[in-house]
Amino acid sequence: MIPCYAVYFWWLRLAKKERAANSLLLVLIFVGSVVGYESTDAFFHDHGFQPFRWKQMFSSFVKYVAFSAFFVAFYYLKKTIKQQQKIQAINKEKDNAELNAIKAQLTPHFLFNTLNSIYADALKVDHSLAKTILMLSDNTRYFLEQGRQMEVSLADEIAHIKNYLALQLHRLQDKIRIDYREDVENNRLTIAPLLLIPLVENAIKYTSMLSGNGHLISLHLSEQAGQFRLMCCNPRKVHTEEALNEQWRKSGIGLYSIKKRLALLYPNSHSLQIDAKPTLFKVNLTIQLC
């Protein structure tokens, strides 16, 4: 039975190229097992003078091949059952994903309808409030719709950032000032959606908790020859940040998550430098987009 076990537990589990390379060894195992069995049988039993025992050897060889064929059939039957189970599991996951996608489409639809209704009512009372609601609606739409894409144009991502800055300036009023500069040669390049906004969001978040008004946030975006750069600089106060409660601290996207996403999306084509000083926080991000 040694050849049968060799077929089932060793040869069939090899890759196709490895099987071809080890076929000769498998044949030698078969021949060696036959010769070994017949030699042992001849040694312990007296069958008279039979020089080569060709018939017995051939019979044993056929038996090994037949048993091995059974093992092969059993192996592929087992493999087919596992593949069918895997396909069923994938189909089930696909059905669940489609159901979740339908649910996900219903939620934004309801949200946009609600925001549009509020916007229509706000127009009758306060045009400034209506403008804020419209900006919020645009930000939410981009987050829910474009955020699902693998890539978006650099123009769309930058437009989303500018819309977010406008919304925050309207909300915080005199609390912050923003030095925004943009020098992009080719805004048709593509980039992963919502990759840049967490850096801007964190700058706004930690600046908004400072006392006083007129705090300056610098945001410079540039692109040249496919290399995109973001520089974001905001004032900070370490003691004030340490006093934050844990829930507020976790309300944004941490730098660890940003680093992890960059490592997955642009493993060998990005650079993230962070300079955290007691009164200043500066981020320099470089991504090679093409």
Query: How do residues 233-279 score in pLDDT, each as one tens digit?
Result: 999 886 655 555 554 455 445 677 888 889 888 988 999 999 989 89
Q: What domains sit in the chain, N to C, each tagged with a CATH number? A: 2-91 (no CATH), 173-288 (3.30.565.10)
Encoding tokens for residue 284?
């320099």
**CB neighbours (10 Å) of residue 183?**
10
223: confidence class by pLDDT, cuts 50, 70, 90: very high
Output the CA angle 124-126-132, nearest 5 degrees: 115
Encoding tokens for residue 193?
């959606």
Q: What's the pLDDT at 82?
A: 81
pTM, 2 dp:
0.58
Sign of CA dihedral 72, 73, 79, 82: negative
**CB neighbours (10 Å) of residue 68?**
21
Centroid of chain to Cα 169: 33
26: confidence class by pLDDT, cuts 50, 70, 90: low
Encoding tokens for residue 128?
């400034």
Residues facing residue 228 across a β-bridge: 223, 287
Higher per-residue confidence, 36 vs 230? 230
Higher per-residue confidence, 186 vs 134? 186
What confidence tens digit (pLDDT) does each residue in 169-180 have? 988 889 999 999
- The share of the chain scoring above pLDDT 70, in percent, equals 61
Residue 36 pLDDT > 70: no
Residue 15 pLDDT > 90: no
